[in-house]
Chain A
Amino acid sequence: MSGARPDLPRWADIGLIPLVNVLLAFIVAGLVVAVIGESPLEAVQVMLSGALGSGEGLGYTLYYATNFIFTGLAVAIAFHAGLFNIGGEGQAYIGGLGVGLLLLGLDHSLSWPVLLPLAVIAALLFGAAWAFIPAWLQAYRGSHIVITTIMFNFLASSLMVYLLVNVLNEHGATSPESRNIAETAQLPFITDILGGFGIKMAHTPLNLSILIAVLACIFVWIYVWHTPWGYELRTVGQSERAAVYAGVKPRRVILVTLCISGALAGLVGVNEIMGVQHRLLLNFNAGYGFTGIAVALMGRNHPLGVVLAAILFGILTQGGAELSLEMPNIDRNMVTVIQGLVILFSGALAHLSRPWLEALFALLSRRRPSLKEA
C-alpha cells in the first residue's frame, strides 16, 4: 500500500517498522493506563497471566482469536486487491444468520458432523451474499465500497433486530432470541474433545471452529499467492490499468474478491452460533469486524501475520477482561482503545517512524561503509 522506498534494508521494512509501529501504539496505551493511576507494567503482567496463565484463559484467548482470524483474513484479502472492506461487521452478522437458519431447520434431523460442512457453506454463502451488493456496486456502478459497506452494516443490524423481534423469537418469549438448537447439532467444545483423550481442561468457549480458521488461513495463502486468480487479484491491487493491459478484468476480480472477503467474515457465524451461543441472538458479532481491520493492518495482510495479530488481540481481549477485575479502575473497553491505537499507528501513521529509522540506518552505514558494498 506504500510506495517502495529503497533506503531501508528489506528486513527493516518488513519486520522492524511494523514492530516499531505496534510498540508506539502500546506506549500510548501505557500512557493512558498511567493517567488512570495504575502501573502499565503491572497491567501487562495481569493481562498476560490472565490470558495465557491458565487453561481457561488460554481457551478464551484462542476462542476470541478464532473470530479475529476470520475477520482479519476478510480485510486482508480485500486489501490485496486495493479494496477496503469495513463491512466485516455486517457480513459476520448475516453469516451467523445463515448458520442459525440452517441449524434451526435441521438440528432435530441431523447431527453435528453432517451439519458442520453445511453450516460452513451457509456461513460462506450468507456472508458473500451480504458483500455481493456493495461489491457489484463498486465494480459496475463505481459506488465507493467504504460507504456502501458501512451502510450495509447498519442494514444488517436493522434486519437482525426485525427478524429476532418479529419472526425468529420463541413463541411467547419477549427476549429477541431464537430457541436453543438441539445439543446433537452443537459443535463440540475443545474441552470435551480433549476430555475424551483423558486430558482435563477448564470449560471454555473454544470449539472446533478454530480448525476451520486454520484452514481458512491456508486457503487465503494458496489463493492469493499460488493461483492465477490470486495473481490477478494482486495485479488489480497494484494498478488497475496495468491489470487491464495484462488481460485481467478488474471488475470481475473486484466482485469475486469482495465476495470471498464477505464469506470469510461470515465464518464468524459458525464459531459463534454453532460453537458457542447455540441460538440466534442480537450483537453476537459485536466489534469483530472492526478488530479485523486492526488485525489485518498489524499482520501486514499475510495469513501468518493475521494469525499472530489475532492471537495478540485474543490475549488483549481476554487479558483486558481479567484486568478490569484486578484493577477496577481500568474498564475492559481499554481493548478498544488499544485497537484504535494499533489501527492509527500501523495504518494511518504507518510512515511516522520511517524518517527516523532511515536517518538511523544512514548513520550506521556511514560508520561502516563496508556493509553497504557487501
Chain B
Amino acid sequence: MEPELLLRTFAAALRLSTPLILCAMAGLLSERSGIVDIGLEGKMLAAAFAAAAVAAVTGSAWLALLCGIVIATLMALLHGYACITQRGNQVVSGVAINLLASGLTVVLGSYWFQQGGQTPMLTDLGRFRPLELPGVALLNGVPVLGAVYRDLISGYSLIVYVALLAVPATHWLVNKTRFGLRLRAVGEYPQAVDTAGVSVPWLRYRAVLLCGLLTGIAGTYVSIAQNAGFSRDMTAGQGFIALAAMIFGKWRPYPALGACLLFGLLDAVSIRLQGVRIAGIGEVPVQLIQALPYALTVLLLAGFIGKAVAPKASGIPYVKER
C-alpha cells in the first residue's frame, strides 16, 4: 500500500472510532459504578436524531450538540430511575431504551419532516466541519512530517479531538479523584460505600448522567459531523461494538481506547478492501473482517485472550437493608 493511502486509512479509522471511543467511555463510567448499560446504542441513536433535527431547523451545530446531550441524558436518567430507584433489571431496561429510541426516532422524524424517518440533508451550516489545525500550510513542504500532520493529525471535526481527550479525562476521573475511588468502590462492593456514609444511589446517578453526556456527544457526531443528517437506525450497532470494546479493554480507559481504534481500523480496512483482490489470498470476505470485533470479544470473554472480569456488583440492584 502506498504511504498516502495508509495515512488516509488510519485517518478514516480514527473517524470511525470516534463514536466508539465516546460510547466506550460512557459505558465504562456506568459499569464501573455497577450499572450495566446495553442501552448505549439507543441513547446514541436518540441523540443523533435530536441533533440532526435541531440542526436542520436552527442551523446551529452547537444548539444541536446541546439537544443531543439533553436527550441522551434524559434517557440515561430513565435508565437510572429504573435501575437505581426502582431496582429493575438493568438489561431489560437497556433493551427497552434501545427499542424506544429505534421506534421513536422514526415515528417522530417521519411526522416532523415527512421524509420516511430521515431528517433533511444538512448543508455545512449546522454541521461540525473538519478543522484545519494551524501550521498545515507551513509544514506542507516538509517530506514525511508534512503529510502526516496534514492527513493524520489535522483535518478532523472538533468532536474527534473531544473524544480523544475524553479518554485521559475518564482515566483521571476514575483513577485519580475521590469521586473515582468511590465510583469504583460502589461498583465492586456498594455495602462498604454505604457504611462509609456515602450515598450509593447518588454516586450511581452521577455515573449514569456522565454516561448520558458522552453518548449524547457520540450521537451528535454520528449525525451532524460524520454524516449530514439522520437516517433510521443509523448508528447500526456501533453502541454494541463500543460495549464490546469496553469489555475488550477490561473496563479500563486506555485499553478500551486501543480496542476502539482496533475496531475502527478493522472497519476502515473492510471498507477499503470491498471487492479488492489480494494476490495469493483472493477476495477477502468483508463480512469476515466486520465480524472480527464480535468474535474477538467472545474469545476474550471465554478467557482465551487474558481474562476480563466485570465489576463485581454490576447488574445487581443495591438494597440497603441487606
What residues of chain A have their CB less than 8 Å away from a CB belonging to chain B?
1, 32, 35-36, 84, 86, 133-134, 137, 141, 143-144, 146-148, 150-152, 154-155, 158-159, 161-162, 165-166, 290, 293-294, 297, 329-331, 333-341, 343-344, 347-352
Contact = CB atoms under 8 A, between A and B. Distances in A.
B82 interface: yes
B222 interface: no
Contact of A337 (B104, B288, B295): B104
A340 B100 contact: yes
Interface stretch (B7-15, B87-95, B124-132, B208-216): B87-95
A248 to B, nearest CB: 23
Given A146-B38, A333-B107, 20 more contacts: A1-B89, A86-B91, A137-B298, A144-B310, A151-B295, A154-B240, A158-B287, A158-B294, A165-B287, A290-B95, A333-B102, A336-B102, A340-B99, A340-B104, A341-B100, A347-B96, A348-B90, A349-B88, A351-B86, A351-B87
B117 interface: yes
B100 A344 contact: yes
Contacts of B303: 141, 143
Contacts of A343: 92, 95-96, 99
A337 B61 CA distance: 28
B302 interface: yes
B223 to A, nearest CB: 18
Contact of A147 (B78, B83, B98, B301): B301
Q: Which of A35, A148, A165, A331 has the most CB of B within 10 A?
A: A331
A100 B122 CA distance: 43
Given A348-B82, A352-B86, A155 B110 contact: no
Contacts of A141: 301-303
Contact of B237 (A154, A159, A350): A154
Nearest to A342: B96
A347 B94 CA distance: 11
Given A150-B38, A347-B93, A337 B88 contact: no
24 contacts: A36-B111, A86-B95, A137-B301, A137-B302, A147-B301, A150-B38, A154-B294, A158-B290, A162-B285, A290-B95, A297-B92, A331-B107, A331-B111, A333-B103, A333-B232, A340-B100, A341-B96, A344-B93, A347-B88, A347-B89, A348-B82, A348-B90, A348-B93, A349-B86
Contacts of B98: 340
Contact of B110 (A84, A159, A331): A331
Contacts of B82: 344, 348-349
Q: Is the interface of A mostly helix, strand, loop or mixed?
A: helix
Nearest to B296: A151
Contacts of A330: 107, 111
Contact of B107 (A152, A161, A334, A351): A334
Contacts of B290: 158
A32 B298 contact: no
A65 B232 CA distance: 25
A158 B108 CA distance: 30
B251 to A, nearest CB: 12
A333 B100 contact: no
Interface of B: 36, 38, 78, 82-83, 86-93, 95-104, 106-108, 110-111, 117, 232, 237, 240, 243-244, 247, 285, 287-288, 290-291, 294-295, 297-298, 301-303, 310
Contacts of B106: 331, 333, 336
Contacts of A133: 298
A32 B104 CA distance: 9
A337 B42 CA distance: 12
A148 B296 CA distance: 11
B103 A148 contact: no
Contact of A334 (B36, B87, B103, B240): B103
Nearest to A162: B287
A365 B112 CA distance: 50
Nearest to A341: B100
Given A137-B298, A147-B243, A336-B103, A162 B96 contact: no
B96 A340 contact: yes
Contacts of A333: 102-103, 106-107, 117, 232
Given A343-B92, A348-B83, A335 B103 contact: yes
Given A84-B91, A150-B240, A158-B287, A290 B99 contact: yes
Contacts of B96: 340-341, 343-344, 347-348
B95 A293 contact: yes
A63 to B, nearest CB: 21
Contacts of A32: 104, 107
